[in-house]
Structure 1
Amino acid sequence: MSHASAVPRHVLPVLVLAQFAGTSLWFAVNAVMPDLQRELGWATGAVGTLTSGLQFGFIAGTLVFALLAIADRFPPRTVFLVCALAGAACTVGAWWSVRDFAALLAWRVATGFFLAGIYPVGMKIAAQWYSRGLGAALGVLIAALVLGSASAHALRAMGHTLPWPTLMLGVALLAAFGGVLLFFGLGDPPRAVARVSRLQWQALGTLWTDARVRSSVLGYFGHMWELYTVWVMVPLILATRLEGVALSWAAFGVLGAGAIGCAGGGWLAQRLGSARVAGAQLATSGACCLAAPMLLGAPDPAFYAWLALWGITVSGDSPQFSALTARNAPAQAVGSVLTLTNSIGFGISIVSILLFVWLADSVPLGALLPWLAIGPALGLWALRPLLAAADASR
């Protein structure tokens, strides 16, 4: 019997639900921003400032967690619980001081910091439970996170029925529940590695010194150049044909389609290998970037099919890059390596978002979007050693 099949059935559902609940903190304010803008008179750009603030907090948190080896020096379940409760408390603080924009921004930066102990740590816990089938497990795990990301648009579409204080406090409660669920719902994994007692500088260096880790990490960086910028640009693309509630539901559909790529890619990875699945999805999403000039003006069936394919593949390679990195990183430092990789990747995403949003004011979408393909192209180039190894093992 394979190790994956020996894992108790409740493990993956608990991981998925806890990760979804914990990372719901990411979108608590974004979903209520239209209400806050109407009520408080904030400018449209306020949502971008708050989103960037949370991203910067996450980058700072992942950097601190990685350099101090938090997820490898302390029990991961405890780290997840503490950060979920702290993030929930920050969201309550944001609700309490929501009318003070500077205070709200500070609470969102702090929320991002504690998310560093939720998203990467959840992946480390999954890697401990699944010695085989990690790509499939992470596919389901990150599919739930993609749906959570897209849910901000669905909540916005339903916003008139959900008062913003109820939504913010509900998300805080949900995140706290996720931390408690994971802490008490999972025991110690069968292949838990002994915790380290010192910083893992040499292990962190494998991002550059180990050819296999370097290949998957650089491929992930190319993916991150494209991913979050596409998520930001999709509403702008849809706004060329839709508005209001219809636009929000369409954005939810396009971004939520990434769950198909994550879960389906995980299923395929068990048969084809994570490197091939990641490479195929990265190449497809890059082709979608290049197809923008032709398809922006295409008839509705082609236009929406293009966006759906882009939504599926722009997210679908993410779990396979994480699986490859977790599989090849030093066993005693998987949490720190994944966390540092996230930190650098999100830093790249912020540069890409700021650049493309700034250029979108003066450059037509048809001329701008193809430049996103730089990330997939460089990612595919970096992935070549792992693709060659996968072909050689056939």
Structure 2
Amino acid sequence: MTPWFSATAILPELSARWQMDEVTASWMTIAVQLGFVTGALGLTVTGLADRLPMRQLIGWSACAAGLCNLALLAAPGPGSATLLRFLTGMALAGVYPPAMKLVTTWFIGGRGLALGMVTGALTFGSAFPHLVRAASAGLDWRVVVVITSAAALTSALMVALIVREGPHGYVPAAFSLSELKNIVLNKPLMLANTGYFGHMWELYAMWGWFLAFASGALAQAGLGGALASWLTFWVIAAGAVGCVAGGCLADRIGRTATTAIMLILSGGCAALIGFAFTGPGWLLVLLALVWGFTIVADSAQFSTMVTELSERRLVGTALAFQMGVGFGLTVITLRLMPAFAQWIGGWQWAFLLLVPGPVIGASAMIWLRRLPEAARINGGRR
């Protein structure tokens, strides 16, 4: 997943190279989301997520993502670069949802932790370009593109040589569009999806624009350079630990309880972090790390609930549907954030826009917890 934020990590350099304003530059990130949505919904309407061998789908998709990312080096301008970002996101749709499904073939018990590890890997992969940019401060921006592309291509090779499906496999399913009604009319499943949609309203807008927020906050303190990139890396990377912790907690106390708690905590951080914009620095770092930890700690549990609440033959399609719609929402918040920041007078209070997402998501989790069908979640530990 390292190509996801590769352009975001070098956005200042690309903006200067192509003389892009903030709104135009935002499409470097938004295009990836749009590509992912297109790819995920494509998997949904074709049923390919339940028809193709998962190893082949993941491996070839990771290879395509790495090559599209590498092609940024030859992009002559922002138009072609945006198209390449779109294709990168489209390819990554063939990596993440099928990977979640593949891991479930190895686990019945402990599935929450197992999928938490997958989402933790996604989180670290998403943070990795910021680490490369911070560690290579002063070097050419192309270093970030080359290293993140190489990581994706290496992962494709690893899938081909090492990864295998587990003993709890799925029978390839025939699919028609009429099957979608079995997803959208499944009330418990759609409540789990609503929790995920609220979570996604917040997640990628925070990940995508935290560097801008941190740069503004550190500039207030007379700090700059690579410090904002370092802070952004650690904030996003904290979520990798959060995903594992969230998986452990969900397997112990239940998925609806864990997701509701994390949504409330992350929404609280979104509401409060503006107070730390002008200092003290330790408060900004503390709130940011807590937010980075909690904002994605629940993510895998929504997907895990989908594998437990949907019909087994439609697990891949249900996951692709959940992620396709969820990532569609991220396009809205990623596009709104810079406009909202400009309207509100700067980045200090811009993250207030994200608060409604976790509020709606937590409400959906509390509602789902009360339904009798929730007994199917986590062996009854709802």
Task: State whether TM-score is above 0.5.
Answer: yes
In structure 1, give the amino acid aligned to 2:356: I
Matched, 1:256 2:243: no
Q: What is the distance in 1 between the residues matched to 2:109 and 2:343? A: 49
Per-residue CA deviations over 1:251-280 (Å, capped at 9, x if unaligned) read 112222111211111111221122211111
In structure 2, give the amino acid aligned to 1:155: V
Per-residue CA deviations over 1:73-112 (Å, capped at 9, x if unaligned) read 11111111221222223233332x3223322222221111
Q: What is the distance in 2 between the residues matched to 1:176 and 1:230? A: 27
- What is the aligned-residue identity percentage? 28
Q: What is the distance in 2 between the residues matched to 1:83 and 1:196? A: 21
Q: 1:27 maps to what in 2?
A: 5
Please say if residues 212 and 385 of structure 1, whose CA atoms lie closer than 8 Å, have aligned partners that are also in contact. Answer: no
Per-residue CA deviations over 1:235-263 (Å, capped at 9, x if unaligned) read 23322234221111111122221112111
In structure 1, give the amino acid aligned to 2:36: F
Q: 1:235 maps to what in 2?
A: 211
Q: SS in structure 2 opposite 1:257?
A: helix
Q: 2:148 maps to what in 1?
A: 171
Q: 1:195 maps to what in 2?
A: 172
The partner residue of 1:375 within 354, 357, 367 is 357
Q: 1:4 maps to what in 2?
A: none
Cα distance, 1:200 vs. partner? 5.6
Matched, 1:184 2:184: no
Point out the more displaced range, 122-131 or 233-242.
Answer: 233-242
Number of positions where the alignment pairs a residue of Structure 1 with one of Structure 2:
370
Q: 1:132 maps to what in 2?
A: 109
Per-residue CA deviations over 1:106-146 (Å, capped at 9, x if unaligned) read 22211111111011111111122212211101111111211
Q: What is the distance in 2 between the residues matched to 1:160 and 1:368? A: 27
Please say if residues 3 and 152 of structure 2, whose CA atoms lie closer than 8 Å, have aligned partners that are also in contact. Answer: yes
Please say if residues 242 and 293 of structure 2, whose CA atoms lie closer than 8 Å, have aligned partners that are also in contact. Answer: yes
Cα distance, 1:311 vs. partner? 1.2
Q: Evaluate the alpha carbon distance shift between residue 293 and residue 86 of structure 1 in structure 2; reply closer, same or farther with a 3 A threshold.
A: closer
- Give the TM-score of the pair, scaled to structure 2: 0.89
Q: SS in structure 2 opposite 1:189?
A: coil
Q: What is the distance in 1 between the residues matched to 2:350 and 2:86? A: 30
Please say if residues 200 and 333 of structure 1, whose CA atoms lie closer than 8 Å, have aligned partners that are also in contact. Answer: no
Cα distance, 1:38 vs. partner? 4.3
Q: SS in structure 2 opposite 1:99?
A: coil
Matched, 1:212 2:193: no
Q: What is the distance in 2 between the residues matched to 1:175 and 1:133? A: 28
The partner residue of 1:312 within 293, 317, 325 is 293
In structure 2, give the amino acid aligned to 1:240: A
Q: What is the distance in 2 between the residues matched to 1:221 and 1:283? A: 14
Matched, 1:93 2:71: yes
Cα distance, 1:298 vs. partner? 5.2
Cα distance, 1:283 vs. partner? 0.9
Please say if residues 73 and 197 of structure 1, whose CA atoms lie closer than 8 Å, have aligned partners that are also in contact. Answer: yes
Q: 1:83 maps to what in 2?
A: 61
Cα distance, 1:327 vs. partner? 1.7
Q: Evaluate the alpha carbon distance shift between residue 249 and residue 326 of structure 1 in structure 2; reply closer, same or farther with a 3 A threshold.
A: same
Please say if residues 221 and 375 of structure 1, whose CA atoms lie closer than 8 Å, have aligned partners that are also in contact. Answer: yes
Q: 1:223 maps to what in 2?
A: 199
Q: What is the distance in 2 between the residues matched to 1:295 and 1:42? A: 29
Q: What is the distance in 1 between the residues matched to 2:124 and 2:93? A: 19
Q: What is the distance in 2 between the residues matched to 1:77 and 1:57? A: 21
Q: Evaluate the alpha carbon distance shift between residue 240 and residue 205 of structure 1 in structure 2; reply closer, same or farther with a 3 A threshold.
A: same
Q: Evaluate the alpha carbon distance shift between residue 207 and residue 146 of structure 1 in structure 2; reply closer, same or farther with a 3 A threshold.
A: same
Cα distance, 1:40 vs. partner? 4.9
Point out where structure 2 has 5 or more consecutive residues left out of the alignment. none
Q: 2:323 maps to what in 1?
A: 342
Please say if residues 2 and 125 of structure 2, whose CA atoms lie closer than 8 Å, have aligned partners that are also in contact. Answer: yes
Q: 2:253 maps to what in 1?
A: 272
Cα distance, 1:297 vs. partner? 4.5
Q: What is the distance in 2 between the residues matched to 1:289 and 1:28? A: 24
Point out where structure 1 has 5 or more consecutive residues left out of the alignment. 1-22
Matched, 1:107 2:84: yes
Please say if residues 263 and 294 of structure 2, whose CA atoms lie closer than 8 Å, have aligned partners that are also in contact. Answer: yes
How large is the RMSD of aligned CA atoms in angstroms? 2.3
- Give the TM-score of the pair, scaled to structure 1: 0.86
